[in-house]
Structure 1
């Protein structure tokens, strides 16, 4: 019984060292974006550009103010990606009434390559709620 307890204690100690030794180091290597970045999005032949300004708001949080598509949002580090979830509105292309939408975006913490998706939250014309109205691949590039 003493040997079993010793083995359990040794295993528990190794588990604690593993958790304490690797998790903080992985996040410590992620540098939060700060300053001005060019946002370049591509969807088929369509391309959009904007300037996004990032300001750190905590160890795993950056706020962003973009001149288009995203104003006053926050990205949070989840593993090796910065992720954003929010809501907004767009004009319904059928009725031209304001249409509530959900926006999600995420980008790789190292390459700064990401994806942006906009989904309807209500029906627009004959289109059902929950339809994807925009899905873009984008690249962030540090300015200066």
Structure 2
């Protein structure tokens, strides 16, 4: 039977010969074209998102429709974006400022998109969530 000292000696020997425990690698920075597909009840959204790395934990998006551009930053295994936009108030059809938060898992590319109002619309208060979508990115090019 090997005692504690024996196990420590074996471990030190493995480290000395280059057999160290595998370190966790940083996730790959998204680069190239991805298909964006979101489902919310019966509604579906699709688009093409193109990412260009802007650093080891940064990627810049050139997208279609709902999110045309923005920078995503890696935070705790998720790529995250936060920004502002506008949408039409459904009550009086005036432009209404919104906040968008988008994040996706670095490994699975599954994400969540939330849009929140920043001012009142009709009788609705500011700060209401007007849309939350789960989405999936798939590398296409």
Determine if the TM-score, normalized by the shorter chain, exceeds 0.5.
yes
Q: Which residue of 2 aligns with 1:138?
A: 135
Deviation at 1:42, TM superposition (A): 0.8
Bigger-Rg structure (1/2): 2
Q: Which residue of 2 aligns with 1:39?
A: 36
In 2, Cα distance between equivalents of 1:116 and 1:108: 12
Give the paired residue count: 119
Q: Which residue of 2 aligns with 1:12?
A: none
TM-score by length of 1: 0.80
Q: Which runs of 4+ in 1 moved over 3 A?
A: none
For 1:112-127, list aligned pairs within 5 A: 112-127=109-124
1:12-71, Cα deviation, whole Å (9 max, x unpaired): xxxxxxxxxxxxx54x43001100100001111111000000000001000001111111
Aligned pair partner of 1:58 in 48, 55, 58: 55
In 1, Cα distance between equivalents of 2:65 and 2:49: 8
Structure 2: gaps of 5 or more residues: 1-22
TM-score by length of 2: 0.82
For 1:63-82, list aligned pairs within 5 A: 63-82=60-79
- Structure number having the greater helix percentage: 1
Q: RMSD in angstroms over aligned alpha carbons?
A: 0.9
Deviation at 1:72, TM superposition (A): 1.8
Q: Which residue of 1 aligns with 2:93?
A: 96
In 1, Cα distance between equivalents of 2:88 and 2:103: 24
Q: Secondary structure at the match of 1:126?
A: coil
In 2, Cα distance between equivalents of 1:142 and 1:68: 19
